Amino acid sequence: MLQPTYTLLYVDNPEASGRFYAALLGRAPVEAGPTFVLFAFETGLKLGLWSRHTVAPAASVTGGGTEIAVTVVDDATLEATHADWAARGLSILQPPTDLDFGRTFVALDPDGHRLRVFRPH
């Protein structure tokens, strides 16, 4: 059975995006170069930031077409994360809101990728 292991985001400047995500995630990348930056997580998931200028084959869509979602355990953590990200200057696309699956908010990274934080029901 195949299991996804990577999420790749096409970014304008991998080094700048790497600094953004290192600060946001509170961890250093395991690999960093001018065209690719990689973060690895204890769950086995990897997040790669690949230069949209060098990805092969060329990508026709970059930011905003998908979401990276992070589950939190309670509303207090969701609200604290929202306040922290807003204070860091992230663009908040959707403020904390109750939807059919739980409470959520959505922010944007510098390349327009959607970052959803949610507390499921």
What's the whole-model pTM score? 0.91
pLDDT tens string, the chain, 121 residues long: the values are 888 899 999 999 999 999 999 999 999 999 999 999 999 999 999 999 999 999 999 988 878 888 999 999 999 999 999 999 999 999 999 999 999 999 999 999 999 999 999 999 9
CB 60 within 8 A of CB 70: no
Q: What is the DSSP string of 15-80?
A: HHHHHHHHHHHTS--SEE-SSEEEEE-TTS-EEEEEETTT-SSPPS--TTSSEEEEE-SSHHHHHH
Give me the torsion for CA of 10, 15, 17, 21, rounded to 10°.
120
